Structure formats: C-alpha cells, structure tokens
Amino acid sequence: MSVTVRVPAKVNVQLAVGGARPDGFHDLANVFLAVGLYDEVTAAPADGLTVTCAGPDAHQVPLDHSNLAARAALALAERHGRTADVHLHIAKDIPVAGGMAGGSADAAGALLACDALWGTGASRAELLDICAELGSDVPFSLVGGAALGTGRGELLTPLEVGGAFHWVFALADGGLSTPAVYREFDRLWEGRDVPVPEASPALVDALRTGDAAALAATVTNDLQPAALSLFPSLRATLAAGEAGGALAALVSGSGPTTAFLAKDAESAHSLADALRASGTCRAARVAASPAPGATLL
C-alpha cells in the first residue's frame, strides 16, 4: 500500500534580508505565500531507499540520497531507530532551482508520506523540527497558507489571508543557486550596514484584507538586485509582465522564476499569454494563492 502527499510551491511576497551572521546564514523577515502549483510525493514499501522523479524538469533532480525527499526520509527513520525502507516517487510540477521551494516541498511531502507509511506517528512539533533541520523553507512547505518566517526563515508565525490572489510565474532558462545569490547580496552590500529585516505591517494587512492592489504596492524582495545582477535578462521578463498589465512584478525568492500579481483570474490568463508572446521566458504558469500545505491524498 502506498501513500501520496500533495505539496505546494511558494512565493515570497516579502523577502527582507539582514546582514550575514557569523554562521553564514542571514536573518530574514520572510513572508511566504503558498501557491497552487504542486508536487506529489508517493511513498511505497521497498527494501532500502530509492527515488524516482517524473515531470518536465525531472532530469535536473538528483535521484541519490542528496535528494531532499530522501534526506527527509532518512531523518525521520533515524529519529525513530528504523531503516529508511521506502521507494519515493516525485511527480514534479514545481520548477526546479526556480526560487519556488520545490526541493523543500518534496522534503515536507516525503516526511509526511513516510510518517503515514511507517506509522511512526510523529507529532506536528516533531515534523516541524525535522523540517527546520532539512532547510529554511521546509517548515513552510508543511504548513502552507501564508506565514511570516523569521530567524533564517524557519520560525513561522501563521498569517491570515482574506481572499484569493492570482499570479503568473514566468520560468527562466537555467537556474540560480540560492547560496550564489546570497553571496552576490553580500558582495553588493559590502562595506555598508544592512538594515535589520522587519515584516511590513502594510503588507500583512493587504494579505489579511485580500486586497491585490494593496499587496502589489507593498511586495518587496531584497534578493532581487542580486538575482538581476547574476541573471540580467530577467529585467526584460519583468518589463514584459509590467507591460502586460501586472499589478506587481518581482523575482520569486532567489530566482530566476519571476512572479507577477494579476488583478483577477482572467487578467492572470491574459498576462500569461502576453509573457509567452514576449519571448522573454521559457514558459508562463498561472496559479492562485493561498494553497494548503502538505496534504495526504
């Protein structure tokens, strides 16, 4: 008998980044919003641990134990003193290395799926603890909805969302490595004091009221200059989205996916068409938020 878990991608509507800490991480004030683009992780009984992956970007996903889904299974097994006997299959729809936390989603999905398959009965607190060990974005993939992440992004406070937001995501040719983008951030700020990251009250309010225009006026991404510096062609994609009627255009997380907020579902579809026609991206995907976190199907 196998178990399947569906997990959403995320967009950062605010990504406020502080200076590098002595441990190399950055303090963040990170407002996550889960969006309706999903990976599905299926856990099936097996001898030993194996991973397979299907989907348009599957060839970019490692199938050894460096896969974040495999690492999640190993972490759960180790805590419960058992062997990680499971076959994990990832049906991948979230762009790989796109700044949408696809690997983190698979980790959260694998954790929940293995917990159900093995009957480990881990508490929510334990699952969140393992998620935080696996990566800064993993706890949010488990929880979904909207949340403020502080610390290195892993300390979550849920946020209220008062309505649906409609997005278009433009996928870029190639990926950006998150550590490389942080290194570029550090380089761009060299010799200057980075302000302490704080959540924007106006942005939190825009989420709570479900007001797309107010959200558009408040979205920010402190990693955007670094992502644009490493991937200058994203400027043309952002400009094409703005010309196509986006209320807001920004780099998603560490990029190179770009995110465009639309007025409503219909505008999102015409904006996606405009982006495809612009020739400035590999593909354009429409998705609504908020989306639920990791869910057993």
Pick the closer one to ligand ATP by CB: 95 or 290: 95
Annotated binding site for ATP: 95-105
Task: Kindly tell me the burial class for residue 124, based on how many C-beta atoms sit within 10 Å of its own C-beta (0-12, 13-18, 19 or more).
Answer: exposed
CB of 169 to ligand ATP, least distance (A): 11
Is 93 considered catalytic here?
Answer: no
Name the active-site residue from 10, 27, 106, 222. 10
Pick the closer one to ligand ATP by CB: 93 or 205: 93
CB of 67 to ligand ATP, least distance (A): 4
**Can you give the binding site for ligand ATP, defined by CB under 6 A?**
60-62, 66-69, 90, 96-104, 106, 137, 175, 178, 253-254
Pick the closer one to ligand ATP by CB: 12 or 218: 12
**Nearest residue by C-beta to ligand ATP?**
103
Annotated binding site: 95-105
The CA distance from 23 to 271, in Å, is 41
CB of 89 to ligand ATP, least distance (A): 11
CB of 254 to ligand ATP, least distance (A): 5
Q: Are 34 and 145 in contact (CB under 8 A)?
A: yes
Pick the closer one to ligand ATP by CB: 244 or 253: 253
Is 137 considered catalytic here?
Answer: yes
Name the active-site residue from 27, 106, 137, 222. 137
Provide the annotated active-site residues. 10, 137
